[in-house]
Amino acid sequence: MHVMYEQHRWFFVVFLFCAALVVANVVHYVLFRLVKKGDAGGKVLGWGLQKHLGGPARAIFLLTTVLLVLPIVPLLPAGPEAIIRHVLAMALVASIGWFAAGLIYVAQEILLRKFDITAEDNRRARTVHTQFQLFRRVAIVLVVVMTVAALLWTSNDQRLLHFGSGLLASAGLATLILATAAKSTASNFLAGLQLALTEPIRIDDVVVVAGEWARVEEITSSYVVLKIWDLRRLIVPLTWFIENPFANWTRESANILTTSFLYLDYIVPVKELRAHIESVLKASGKWDGSVMAVQVTNLTPQAMEIRCLMSAKDASTAFDLQCIVREEMMEFVKEKWPEAFPNMRYRVVADGGSPGELPMAAPAR
């Protein structure tokens, strides 16, 4: 009879824990099934909840149900029960910290949905994306510190309790110590805060750094990733943008001016070029309609320098427009004035010293 009683007792224990696991999984499934439907419907409730909170929520449900079942387990010795309860409590605290970190990502997704970085006028969106990336990292660090402190508070050891209480209070001192031990890391972190607040660069800005045309792809807590036009990546420390001058082509707006230079003989009438470029710009589909000009900017003994000035909505469009204008204008010149390439002019002097006939022009050699 005693053996049968022991078997029934442990069967009951296994049944309780299995029931707890089933209940936790059913609650998790039902709740996040509703969340998934919210995602499909485009509702605010479903934004990122399944992705960022599914894992920690499942762990919290499982640990909570096990903790609720643990006191009714029959004849469990006090010592092992206390150890098991302490381990489960620590796991629950860690899961809650994981859940809090997931909430930060959910808040980021909800906030950034309102700021589309792919829009044409995305200055405000780039500002918010840049600032929130840094603030998210700072918030996650704070969550980690608070979670570690909470884990220490679950202990019955008075020394660990005092250490956990002093962990948050001594965060400022720890920061100073870390700053002394890792000066470059601390300076980059502070530079990141300064960049987020003053906004000399933002996500998706077009900049010229070290002679390279690039787009800001990512801003971390210590460096900036720049995507160069040929798909290479340039990694630059945050402090570089505080201590060095650089060109930001999209500081105020993405609109930009660009130029195409033509070098033609003096026989080409500039007025006809000025009249023709408008049709070229309109046909290109890349001109924003705000700026258009054709001017003679320099004269040399061989040719005149003609600058075609135009505007575009962003830097990549401006480059394409620059190439189109250069090609179309050269085709127009070749068709109308095929002899209008840059020429070297000279005068033939006869043997007697008197000037001979002056040719119109001779091709440059």
CATH of the domain at 335: 3.30.70.100
How high is the pLDDT of residue 326? Answer: 92
**pLDDT grade for 303, boundaries at 50, 70 and 90:** confident
Could you give the CA distance from residue 128 to residue 76 in angstroms, rounded to a whole number? 55
| 349 domain-assigned | no
> Which pLDDT tens digit goes with each residue over 157-183?
555 555 555 555 555 545 545 444 445
Q: What does pLDDT average to over the chain?
A: 74
Other C-beta atoms lying within 10 Å of the C-beta of residue 37: 12
How high is the pLDDT of residue 158? Answer: 58
Q: Do 263 and 243 lie in a common domain?
A: no
How high is the pLDDT of residue 362? Answer: 46
| 272 domain-assigned | yes
| 149 domain-assigned | yes
| 122 domain-assigned | no
Could you give the CA distance from residue 157 to residue 130 in angstroms, rounded to a whole number? 43
CATH of the domain at 147: 2.30.30.60
Q: Find the domain containing 67 and state its range.
A: 1-114
Residue ending a domain, choose from 206, 236, 252: 252
The DSSP bridge partners found for residue 216 are 226
Residue 211 has pLDDT above 70, yes or no: yes
Q: Do 202 and 237 lie in a common domain?
A: yes
How high is the pLDDT of residue 17? Answer: 67
Q: Do 89 and 161 lie in a common domain?
A: no
Residue ending a domain, choose from 192, 220, 252: 252
Q: Are the beta carbons of 56 and 31 closer than 8 angstroms?
A: no
> Which pLDDT tens digit goes with each residue over 228-271?
988 899 999 888 888 888 888 777 777 788 889 999 888 889 99
Helix intervals (H) in 154-237: 158-169, 171-181, 183-198
Tracing tokens 């387990």 back to the chain, one arrives at: 73
Q: Do 208 and 160 lie in a common domain?
A: yes
| 361 domain-assigned | no
Into how many domains does the chain fold?
A: 3
Token output for 248? 């930001």
The DSSP bridge partners found for residue 236 are 224
Q: Of 192-206, 208-222, 267-281, 338-352, which one has max mean pLDDT?
A: 267-281
Q: What is the rounded average pLDDT of the residues 99-117?
A: 79
> Which pLDDT tens digit goes with each residue over 338-364?
887 666 666 666 665 555 544 444 444
Q: Do 148 and 243 lie in a common domain?
A: yes
The 3-state DSSP class for residue 49 equals helix
Could you give the CA distance from residue 14 to residue 26 in angstroms, rounded to a whole number? 18
Q: Do 244 and 268 lie in a common domain?
A: no
| 291 domain-assigned | yes
